[in-house]
Amino acid sequence: MKNVLQEKLRKENYEKLLAIDNPVLHRFIAKYVELCNPDEVFVCTGSSEDIRYIREQSILSGEERKLATEGHTVHFDGYYDQARNEKNTKFLLPRGADLGPNINTIGKEEGLGEIHVLLKNAMRGYQMYVCFFCLGPTNSEFSLPCVQLTDSSYVAHSSVLLYRSGYEESKRLGSSQAFFKFLHSEGELEGGVSKNIHQRRIYIDIQEDTVYSTNTQYGGNTIGHKKLAMRLAIHRASKEHWLTEHMFLMGVHGPEGRVSYFTGAFPSLCGKTSTSMIKGETIVGDDIAYLRKKNGKMRAVNVEKGIFGILQGVNSKDDPILWKTLHNPGEIIFSNVLVTEEKSVYWIGKDGEIPKKGFNHSGEWTPGKKDDQGNEIQPSHRNARFTLDLKLLENLDSELNNPEGVLVSGIIYGGRDSDTWVPVEESFDWVHGVITKGASLESETTAAALGKEGVRKFNPMANLSFLSIPIGEYIKDHLNFGRPLRDPPPIFSVNYFLKDSKGDFLNEKDDKVVWLKWMELRSHKEVGAIKTPTGFMPKYQDLKRLFKEVLDRDYPEEKYVEQFTIRIPENLAKIERIKEIYKTKVRDTPQIVFEVLEEQKRRLNGARKKYGDYVAPDKFSNDALELRG
């Protein structure tokens, strides 16, 4: 082992590595240094000098190019390598293990054999970067140390922006074997991008806490401690009785300077980032949260310290804070955008006219350019991204690095739903919320994003793509997590996409500010609510006051009735869809899931019998209907 490391590492890098007293770590690095056979190995300690070196290498290697604004760079992935490769993202399972039909797997022996063949000499002619990170704040119960090996300076640079340095944490932990390991190689390059994308592989070994990725550059496949190692954390959390969630974490500011922290899970294109970045509130994180029980309360941290965000649709009106950050000097990596002659960037949905020419992921670009299949190439890829450190945002919450995390006041689930859920609603209790809000989450596809509009996609807790345990077990974990909590945080649903009979949206884009303020007040029991068959809804007078205070806007009662009318046929249809999924497609569904859904069905049928198919919320204000939840 030492011979391999001494041969490939210069003295200063070898000493950096040996300063971590962890033979298991050393053996892992030595094994893959020998297999991948890089010309050089650089060990990053997280020091300013080491980070500067990685940043410089990303420019020298051509993986990033400087833009006109100071600190801004651009990276291009291959034309067909710009999204998570779900088909070839698989869990390595030993014989006899089974994660259920919803999770992509491959036999461990077969998968390791394949990935080792692909990685043999994959880094010859290149430099390997060995980077240490910490998921969650350092020196904390939440801390998860990680090591990443990659031959991509872009990936190393992105990870440095996204994650807290873990080198000192790894030294502190010494011989602990609880770290996550991630190995990535771009594979053979052609024109600066991965050539053999037909051999893209992202394999996850949950037994050994290791992720392997090769023949890809796209961040979602290669920046291992984001989506990929999140899957490792879900498995770890399940064993240790905490939760890894695909959630933002934000501070909602209430009366008299109070800050209440909310988590929120939304599928893609459903308002997750725009909610976490609402002006006047503060952001702790936009993507992944770890949740733990401490002294009978729920506390949470942001796994990351940066953002790997989607650019499409970001504009000055709807995203003023992010817009300002993206147009000021600072260390930001743009990927798969259009670069103009002036070395500025353009993305789909940005303010202003589309440039007449530029350079993008397809090469030189002009409007109307088509690919080999005759498809028109847009100025930027719809999955164009930006990577930055949260410290660049003016609305960053001061609690980001609190090792104790923040106290969670409420949990929000939201999806794209044109006809069922009301704009905001509170569940009756923890179990009702987990089952009817989180475990029943669906989202409709959009024509712009996925080709066919209005297809409902089942996505429990907005986390289906990242589960490393069976769905039934995941639901049990949530139900069990809430049992010992004293006064668990309320669970809410939101829906920004409800439409009227003509197909027009019933929500204005900024209505979400009012829904947040109402949820903050409810979490402290400072406003009442109307008990309906599906949950607690806001009272009209409370929303009327909040619309005036927060948005300086009148809120007509007819608007309230239209938005908060319970659509009983649609709610009943949803219950039947969800029950069918849990009966036929989910293994070992807890029986309580069906019981709670049946109770909701009985309440809805009772209301239907009394009031009809569509019921305004005021009908329930003084209703004697049994609403036991």
208-235 tens-digit pLDDT:
999 999 999 998 888 976 666 789 999 9
In angstroms, the CA 554 to CA 551 distance is 9
In the numeric block, the tokens 């995203």 are attached to: 319
Tell me which residue of 106, 98, 125 sits closest to 38, measured CA to CA: 125
Annotated active-site residue 270? The verdict is yes
Radius of gyration over every alpha carbon of the chain, rounded to an integer in angstroms: 25
In angstroms, the CA 323 to CA 327 distance is 6
φ, ψ dihedrals at 604, nearest 5°: -65, -40
**List 36, 131, 134, 270, catalytic entry:** 270
Give residue 103's pLDDT.
82
Does an H or E element contain 262, and which? Answer: strand 259-265
In the numeric block, the tokens 């350092």 are attached to: 138
- Where does residue 412 fall: left (phi above 0), alpha (psi -120 to 50 degrees), or beta otherwise? beta
Give residue 219's pLDDT.
87
DSSP-derived letter for residue 523 is H
DSSP assignments along 263-287, one per residue: EEE--TTSSHHHHHT-TTSEEEESS
Q: In the chain, which residues have pLDDT < 70? A: 1-2, 225-228, 446-453, 622-629
Give residue 250's pLDDT.
98
DSSP lists the bridge partners of residue 444 as 456
In angstroms, the CA 488 to CA 296 distance is 9
In the numeric block, the tokens 């299949």 are attached to: 373
- Where does residue 613 fall: left (phi above 0), alpha (psi -120 to 50 degrees), or beta otherwise? alpha
Write out the CATH class of domain 2-62+82-241: alpha beta
Residues 6 or more apart whose Cβ sits within 8 Å of residue 142: 135, 136, 290, 292, 301, 403, 405
244-307+400-620 topology per CATH: Phosphoenolpyruvate Carboxykinase; domain 3 (3.90.228)
Give residue 225's pLDDT.
61
Cβ proximity of 433 and 490 under 8 Å: yes
Cβ proximity of 491 and 410 under 8 Å: yes
Query: 3-class DSSP state for residue 32?
Result: helix
By DSSP bridging, strand 201-205 and strand 89-93 are parallel
Burial label for 12, CB within 10 Å (0-12, 13-18, 19+), is exposed
Kindly report, residue by residue over 568-591, the tens digit of the pLDDT: 999 999 999 999 999 999 989 999
In angstroms, the CA 107 to CA 92 distance is 6
- Residue 65 C-beta-side C-alpha neighbours within 13 Å: 19
Tokens of 169: 């944490």
In the chain, what are the domain boundaries? Answer: 2-62+82-241, 244-307+400-620, 308-392
- 2-62+82-241 against 308-392: fold identical: no
CB atoms within 10 A of CB 112: 17
Convert 453-490 to b/e letters by CB count within 10 Å (16 or more is b). eeebebbbbbbbbbbbbbbbbbbbbbbebbeeeeebbb
Give residue 629's pLDDT.
36
Give percent of the chain with pLDDT exceeding 90.
Answer: 82
Tell me which residue of 416, 464, 414 sits closest to 437, measured CA to CA: 414
- 308-392 CATH pick, 2.30.30.40, 1.50.10.20, 2.170.8.10, 3.40.50.300: 2.170.8.10
CB atoms within 10 A of CB 73: 21
In angstroms, the CA 193 to CA 247 distance is 32
Cβ proximity of 170 and 179 under 8 Å: yes
